[in-house]
Structure 1
Amino acid sequence: MNRQLFGTDGIRGRVGKFPMTPDFAMKLGWAAGQVLGAEGVREVLIGKDTRASGYLLESALEAGFSSAGVNVALVGPLPTPAVAYLTSTFRADAGVVISASHNPFYDNGIKIFAKGGFKLNDVQEQEIERYLQIALDGGMTCVDSERLGKARRVDDATGRYTEYCKAALPGNLSLDSFKIVVDCANGAAYKVAPAVYRELGAKVIAIHATPDGFNINEQCGATSMQSLCEAVVSHGADLGIALDGDADRLMMVDHTGTIVDGDELLYLLTRQAKANGYAGGVVGTQMSNLGLEQALDALGVPFLRAKVGDRYVMEQLEANGWRIGGETSGHLINLDHASTGDAIVASMQVLACLIAQGLSLSDAKQGIEKLPQTLVNVSYQAGQGIDPLIQPAVKEMVGAVENELGPDGRVLLRKSGTEPLIRVMVEATNAETAEASASKIAEQIRHFVG
């Protein structure tokens, strides 16, 4: 192996190609069982999204854990945050989610939660990778027959998580006054999300809620918002809620069909939390819009930027003793309510804000003015030889653009932790400048990637 496999959100790749093969999944289960078993793990909870390949990888993981002497509880298709929550409430020693989140159906991934529903730390991931190398080199061994792990299916997992999400709406509030369009991305929350909002009293129109194993995230969900924008307007809804394939990202649409992204939602939630007595700061990422930073500064709320990835947001929250953080893409974390980003729970907090303030989503977001931001993705496979980001010509182009933008703009280049892409982000005082600047930098990078 001789390379790091864990990215910003677990291990991910094209199904049928290393590392997303049944052989690898089995060995990963064994390796995780070796590491987590040494920490006292006796049972692991496994959930998945709606990809057809989930069945394949689920069986392989089950075999790997069993061979390491670890019991497995299978909960079926459920959101990533549901597995994190159930890992805690079922007192499981670890949780595993089979999902590639917002990626297309032909990708899949495996992410692991430690006890309590928190993501693995770097030391645990490194140790699992060490055992993976042993397994891949032919050193995988099976425990004696009497010590093999057993598997069981959990029948009430969906009901438990539904009640948990409903409880995230504070007090005796209801959603009776809301008409909501919910885009389920044909993903893991296709059953639970519409049920939560309906059971709280909302009139719900569910779209992209008929998964077939291959249509997850296909022109829908938090990464493709056009159909939701159109549905909100055509149905005369108060707002729209978009989830991604594993329902840990939340994006929303106001009654005019305008997208409300993670930065705006994070501002709205922070403003309400401060009004309720929250005295801590907020953690965003390198991708967070400069307008969010400026708006939080106006509120007197400290703001820090972490590396992109909700695990890094979590690390900074823990390091500073803060509770609230998130990403532009819609990973929103409030540790008073969940141990990880949970789209449905976060939407409950947004809806509670709107009820408390008596405002529409469109009016509630007015306190933040975002700078125009352009993101260009350049295809790039790590290990191709040349690293474009260290090339003098690329650095010179970035420096020239930064000089042109001045203090009211930003440039960020980074390699994606979940896809074979280099992301070029530019913020500027107007959209035309942002787009032109990002295009110039992207074109320079393409010279070095073919």
Structure 2
Amino acid sequence: MARLFGTDGVRGLANKDITAELALDLSVAAAHVLAEVGEFNGHRPVAVVGRDPRASGEFLAAATMAGLASAGVDVRDAGVLPTPAIAYLVGEQRADLGAMLSASHNPMADNGIKFFARGGHKLADSLEDAIEQRLGEQWQRPTGPDVGRISPLADGADRYVAHLLSVLPHRLDGLRVVLDTAHGAASVVAPQAFAEAGAEVTVIGNEPDGININDGFGSTHLDRLQAAVVEIGADFGLAFDGDADRCLAVDGAGTIVDGDQIMAILALRMKEQGVLRGDTLVATVMSNLGMIQALGSAGIKVLQTAVGDRYVLESMKNGGYSLGGEQSGHVVMLDHGTTGDGTLTGLMLASRVAETGRTLTELAAVMRHFPQVLVNVKDVDKSRLDACTVVADAVRAAEAELGETGRVLLRKSGTEPVVRVMVEAEDVDQAHLIAGRLVDVVKAELAL
């Protein structure tokens, strides 16, 4: 049986995979498990619950809060807020746990639930496994005054925005910025934060109706943002995903500035200020070689992990590092938050533009992108990849051909019979040529 929890909580088609019954049962089990491992310290526990604007989030949040309250947990309903806002509020409210209903950048029909432990930290795999094992068990239900109470956390948005502004190193006065909030969870707080920081703000994708989240807007659909920035002559634009834990940018000419470029800009600033711990950035194996080389020349080490923000976060915590993230724009700044925060990332990027007086185009030019070719080789036996000497020999030959001007990465899909072949090179034609040769070898050697 497949593990219920994925790399970022439990996610699936709302009201089919992710049902009200499942949300309630997960919440009860989470309350029991966290109580038993000492998270509640013997006192009456408190939880913060939030959601993105999806229609299904209305009944799923209600079910989650009902499950927690039935288990004796007092619930503070934060309403529609970004995932990083809920993580922050768990810590700020000294709550014992948190729950967020969101499927992030997925289509509207999906939804999910993720839990946070005290301090706003994601749960360890072992705790998620324990929660899954406790689903549907018989338990002694509290009655009378021992049941949990549900109350609104009406000023949650203001508290979160105040936190963002408190860590901003430089005001944004004089900047013209376009924000695309993906009709998602940041539709109110992101414009509020940027306006209060002094920017002149134009907003698109900020009319959530429960149905339109991520639909043609946000970090996975940048064309409208690019057009808006150019049309109004803005300095740059920022796009978030549905739960606003990611941020991508567009410069004044409409050129995309991806997560690698954003991380490079932030890493250089943090090193300059002496707050980049270990002079290290944590990124995934998919980050561009151009970023690695640019930061290396500035004395910054790039520590690479498997793809997935949880692996980045784990490595950051283990090594005591302060900055990490992914090419997708999921950036973690552990000095200011416990998870990726798109609004915070955008504010820090904007602050650097304001602080230096340089354009985003100039700042992003610190690195050059090596062309990346990614091919998904389908219907292959991925389990034989690591042991296949023919594939290994082909990879070594490709790496020798590229030398220090490129790299090769083969990795297995976590959910499909697919091997992903990625080749990076100075020349896009060379990248395509080498990727094509490797794809042929993988198909021939690992065919089902």
Moved more, 210-219 or 391-400: 391-400
Instruction: Provide, for residues 22-59 of structure 1, a one-character-per-residue CA deviation record: whole Å limited to 9, x for no partner.
Output: 22211111111111122243111111111111112112
CA distance in 2: counterparts of 1:423 and 1:396, whole angstroms: 17
- Residue 305 (str. 1) matches residue 308 (str. 2): no
1:221 alignment partner, SS class? coil
Which residue of structure 2 lines up, in the alignment, with residue 29 of structure 1?
A: 27
Once the two structures are TM-superposed, the CA of residue 119 in structure 1 deviates from its matched residue by: 1.0
1:60 to 2:57 alignment: no
Following the alignment from structure 1 to structure 2, what is the Cα–Cα distance between the partners of residues 28 and 155? 25
356-365 vs 142-151, greater mean Cα deviation: 142-151
Q: What code does the residue aligned with 1:216 have?
A: I
Q: Distance in 1 between matches of 2:447 and 2:194?
A: 46
SS in 1 for 2:266: helix
1:216-227 pair list within 5 angstroms: 216-227=213-224
Deviation, 1:11, is: 1.4
In structure 2, the CA distance between the partners of 1:72 and 1:194, relative to structure 1 (3 Å rule), is: same
Question: Structure 2: which amino acid aligns with 1:374?
Answer: V
Higher mean alpha-carbon deviation, 36-45 vs 328-337, is at 36-45
Which SS does the other structure have where 1:272 is aligned?
A: helix
Between the aligned partners of 1:259 and 1:420, the Cα distance in structure 2 is 32
- 99-108 vs 2-11, which deviates more? 2-11
The answer on whether the counterparts of 1:12 and 1:107 sit within 8 Å (CA) in structure 2 is yes
Map of 2:188 onto structure 1: 191
Q: Say if 1:27 and 1:140, in contact at 8 Å, map to a contact too.
A: no
Which residue pairs with 1:71 in the alignment? 74
Contact preservation (8 Å) 1:8, 1:417: no
Q: Say whether residues 1:205 and 2:202 are aligned partners.
A: yes
Please list the CA deviations of residues 269-316 of structure 1 after superposition, one character each: whole Å capped at 9, or x if unmatched.
111111112352111111111111111111111221112222211211
Pairing 1:237–2:228 present: no
Q: What is the CA-CA distance between 1:379 and the residue it aligns to?
A: 7.5
TM-score, normalising length from structure 1?
A: 0.89
Identity %: 44
**Aligned ranges 1:58-207 → 2 under 5 Å:** 58-132=61-135, 135=136, 139-146=137-144, 147-170=146-169, 173-207=170-204
3-state SS in 2 of match to 1:222: coil
2:134 partner SS: helix
Secondary structure, in 3 states, of the residue corresponding to 1:74? Answer: strand
Relative distance call for 1:190 and 1:436 in structure 2 (3 A) is farther
Task: Give me the whole-angstrom Cα distance separating, in 2, the residues matched to 1:174 and 1:297.
Answer: 29
Give me the TM-score of the superposition, normalised by structure 2. 0.89
Hey, what does 1:48 align to over in structure 2?
Answer: 51
How far the C-alpha of 1:88 sits from its partner, in A, is 0.7
Contact 1:49 1:78 (8 Å CA) reproduced: yes
Which residue pairs with 2:322 in the alignment?
323
Counterpart residue identity of residue 228, structure 1: L
- Shift in CA distance, 421/276, structure 1 to aligned 2, threshold 3 Å: same
| Aligned counterparts of 2:152 and 2:184: Cα–Cα separation in 1 | 20
Residue 415 (structure 1) shift: 5.2
Q: CA deviation at 1:255?
A: 0.6
Q: 1:408 to 1:3 in 2, by over 3 A?
A: same
Per-residue CA deviations over 1:123-182 (Å, capped at 9, x if unaligned) read 2222212213xx2xxx24351323322222211111111222222322xx4322111110
Greater mean alpha carbon deviation, residues 423-432 or residues 205-214: 423-432
Change over 3 Å in CA distance of 1:92–1:415 after alignment to 2:
farther
Q: Is the 8 A contact 2:382 2:418 kept in 1?
A: no
State the secondary structure of the residue aligned to 1:362: helix
Cα distance in structure 2, aligned partners of 1:227 and 1:449: 41
User: Over the residues paired in the alignment, what is the CA RMSD in angstroms?
Assistant: 2.7
Q: What is the rounded CA distance, in whole Å, between the counterparts of 1:272 and 1:359 in structure 2? A: 13
TM-aligned CA deviation for residue 376 of structure 1: 4.3
Instruction: Give the distance between the partners of 1:40 and 1:118, measured in 2 at CA.
Output: 12
Equivalent pair of 1:49/1:98 in contact (CA under 8 Å): yes
Whole-angstrom distance in 2 between the partners of 1:220 and 1:435 = 30
What is the rounded CA distance, in whole Å, between the counterparts of 1:68 and 1:412 in structure 2?
A: 47
Alignment check: 8 A CA contact 2:172 2:351 kept = no
Structure 2: distance between partners of 1:297 and 1:386: 33
SS at match of 1:188: coil
Q: Is the 8 A contact 1:11 1:111 kept in 2?
A: yes
SS of equivalent residue, structure 1 residue 219: coil
Q: Distance in 1 between matches of 2:447 and 2:58?
A: 36
| Cα gap change, 1:379 to 1:141, in 2 (>3 Å) | farther
**Within 1, Cα distance between the matches of 2:116 and 2:431?**
38
Shift of 1:199: 2.0
Q: 1:399 Cα deviation (Å)?
A: 6.1
Deviation at 1:387, TM superposition (A): 5.0
| Consecutive unaligned residues in structure 1, runs of 5 or more | none
CA shift for structure 1 position 352: 2.0
Aligned pairs for 1:294-373 (under 5 A) are 294-373=293-372
Letter in 1 for 2:189: V
SS of the aligned residue for 1:374 comes to: strand
Q: Which amino acid aligns with 1:119?
A: K
Q: How does 1:251-330 map to 2 (within 5 A)?
A: 251-278=248-275, 279-280=277-278, 281-330=280-329
How far residue 424 of structure 1 moved from its aligned partner, in angstroms, is 4.2
Comparing 407-416 with 440-449, greater Cα deviation is found at 440-449
Of 228-237 and 212-221, deviating more is 212-221
Structure 1 residues 129, 414: CA separation in 2 closer, same or farther (over 3 Å shift)?
A: farther
Q: Which runs of 5+ in 2 are unaligned?
A: none
Pick closer, same or farther for the CA change 1:5–1:385 going to 2, 3 Å.
farther
Task: State how many pairs are aligned.
Answer: 438
Q: Structure 2: which amino acid aligns with 1:65?
A: L
* Corresponding residue SS for 2:219: helix
